[in-house]
Amino acid sequence: MDLKPSDNDTYFAYVETNQGNPRDSHAAVGTSMLQPDSAESKRILRKVDLRVIPILAILYFLSFLDRGNIGNANVQGLSTSLNLKGNEYNWGLTIFFFPYSFTEPLCNILLVRLKPSIWLPSIMVAWGVVTTLTGLIQNYSGLLAVRFFLGLSEAGLFPGLAFYVSLWYPRSNAQFRLALIFASASMAGAFSGLLAYLIVKMDGVAGLEGWRWIFILEGILTVVIAIFSYLFVWDEPQSATFLSEQEKAVLLELLNDTGTKVAADPQLGHSHSFEWRHVKAAIFDWQTWFHCLGYWGAAVAVYALSLFLPTIIKGLGYSAANAQLLTIPVYFAATVSCLLVGYFADRTGQRGLFTAGCYITIFVGYVIAVAPPRFIPGLTYASCFIAACGIYPAIPGLLALSSNNFAPTSKRAVGMAIQMGFGTMGGAAASNFYRTSDAPRYRLGHGLVLAFAGLGMVVMISYYFICRAINTKRDKNAESTPQYTSAELVDMGDRAPTFRYKL
């Protein structure tokens, strides 16, 4: 059986499961090899879905709930109780992102060197404790301290989850799974408003204000679930006891189109799991910085919305309680959009175009907020709906592109962490976009989000065309490409002449 270099779904499986020169057309590919759209592979992926996705979605739901509930607490009197002045509340938001962003690459290194089943629940316990303690702070210094340690303890989760998904799912199936996980973030926004509405009714219980109980109860919930999650987080397909040996073999063959080396033994948690030269490769790879800038544009928008939506809606003339409730429809629409875009992006294989469409939607939403010459509350609320429907599906699309196009595994872990670490600094910027003096229209804040969304859109459209050009060049040079061993091709990863970028 002859294989063409452009046949990624079969070619990498051939490279990984056969010894010698992958260009030897006389070597045969095992007849057991299955493609991601076959009935057997779909059955196995559904089985993986039931064991992997729910716990990841719960972890990320609680993560986003615990980092964003400060917006709900603020409209219930946090700033007043702590006697915050000027931009002190904004600095309380901003400080979260410094440890969060700068430690993300290190956290993914630790995830590879340790094991997801230990690392992910452990950091969850840590941020749950910090969230609970937030309900006991008394001043500005206490706010800065808990927000710093919350950022530090949450830093390993989202880059870890995005990388973790790439260990279990083929490139063509990744975005919908990422969308299922990230949709929990928009659900967290909706539930955050509902929970805050209910929890603040405890105002005065044990002598504590209602906003403090938001942190205390949600933090305790996180710790309890984190303890149980030690039992439900799996490490990787090789060590999954819920898969038979045949199912593991099929799944590993499907994963070969990411450049992951097929091995019967577990690959994580060992000294050979990570190589420092892949850190350098990820840092100096041209696509890393395209992913960073693209993610920055989306991150600015998602944090601007999640941190300030209750404040923006309250500025439309609603009470604090009603503002909490009016965030729910916006996040519900965002959840539906996230799932639909993820599903159809995977189904059509056109995630680059869908991601560009998400940026256009964000752009339109914020233009509506900024452009009118006078303040129209209903139009501002509508703009939040439109922007949210572009923001939340954009993030899984961007992560699917990076997880698809970084190889080998350890380079992908570092590259994605750099992408999210750099991009998440957009959250630090967004924390300072919405000033109290700009209420209720917040035209400056909306305008800055609009500008960065435009930057992200231009960067990712450019990335799409550059990758297409590289794929075309590799197709044309396929016949004259030097011969490589299977080990050399795997080590070259996305720089291998046989690798094609998924767009």
Please report where in the chains the tokens 């987080």 appear, as a residue: 233
Cis amide bond preceding 408, omega within 30: yes
Q: Is 94 a domain residue?
A: yes
Token readout for 51 is 């064991």
**What's the CATH code of the domain at 322?**
1.20.1250.20
Q: Clarify whether residues 69 and 126 are in a common domain.
A: yes
Question: How far is Cα 30 from Cα 331, in angstroms, rounded to an integer?
Answer: 47
Question: How far is Cα 401 from Cα 355, in angstroms, rounded to an integer?
Answer: 9
For 285-327, the pLDDT digits (tens) are 888 889 889 989 898 998 888 878 888 888 888 887 788 788 8
Task: Write down the pLDDT at residue 33.
Answer: 46
Q: Is 252 a domain residue?
A: no
* Coil, helix or strand at residue 374: coil
Residue ending a domain, among 243, 262, 291, is: 243
Q: Clarify whether residues 234 and 296 are in a common domain.
A: no
Question: How far is Cα 457 from Cα 130, in angstroms, rounded to an integer?
Answer: 36
Query: pTM higher than 0.75 for the full model?
Result: no
Q: Clarify whether residues 359 and 403 are in a common domain.
A: yes
Residue ending a domain, among 243, 263, 285, is: 243
CA distance to 76, 105, 161, 280, per residue, from 414 (Å): 39, 6, 13, 9
Structural domain boundaries, residue 438: 276-502
Question: How far is Cα 192 from Cα 75, in angstroms, rounded to an integer?
Answer: 13
397-435 b/e (C-beta count within 10 Å ≥ 16 → b): bbbbbbbbbbbbbbbbbbbbbbbbbbbbbbbbbbbebbe
Q: Clarify whether residues 155 and 282 are in a common domain.
A: no
Q: Clarify whether residues 357 and 474 are in a common domain.
A: yes
Task: Write down the pLDDT at residue 17.
Answer: 36
Task: Write down the pLDDT at residue 480.
Answer: 67
Task: Write down the pLDDT at residue 1.
Answer: 36
Q: Clarify whether residues 339 and 218 are in a common domain.
A: no
List alpha helices for 200-276, DSSP H.
Answer: 210-229, 245-254
Q: Is 2 a domain residue?
A: no
Task: Write down the pLDDT at residue 148.
Answer: 95
Q: Clarify whether residues 222 and 318 are in a common domain.
A: no
Domain count, the chain: 2
Task: Write down the pLDDT at residue 110.
Answer: 83
Q: Is 492 a domain residue?
A: yes
Token readout for 326 is 């009016």
393: number of Cβ within 10 Å: 33
Q: Clarify whether residues 312 and 238 are in a common domain.
A: no
Q: Clarify whether residues 357 and 473 are in a common domain.
A: yes
Task: Write down the pLDDT at residue 321.
Answer: 77
Q: Is 218 a domain residue?
A: yes
For 225-273, the pLDDT digits (tens) are 999 999 998 888 888 888 888 888 888 888 775 343 444 444 443 334 4
Q: What is the pLDDT along the chain (503 residues), one digit of tens a residue?
A: 333 333 343 333 333 333 333 333 333 333 344 455 578 888 888 999 999 999 999 998 998 888 888 888 888 889 999 999 888 988 988 898 889 888 887 887 788 777 888 899 999 999 999 999 999 999 999 999 999 999 999 988 888 888 888 888 887 787 888 888 888 877 877 777 788 888 988 988 988 998 999 999 999 999 999 999 999 988 888 888 888 888 888 888 887 753 434 444 444 433 344 567 777 888 888 888 898 899 898 989 988 888 788 888 888 888 877 887 888 888 889 889 989 998 898 888 888 889 989 999 999 999 998 888 888 888 888 999 899 999 989 988 888 888 888 877 778 878 888 888 888 788 888 888 888 788 788 888 889 999 998 998 899 889 989 888 988 888 887 776 677 777 777 777 777 777 788 87
What DSSP element (H or E) covers 159?
A: helix 157-168
Q: Is 251 a domain residue?
A: no
Please report where in the chains the tokens 């209750």 appear, as a residue: 310
Q: Clarify whether residues 200 and 327 are in a common domain.
A: no
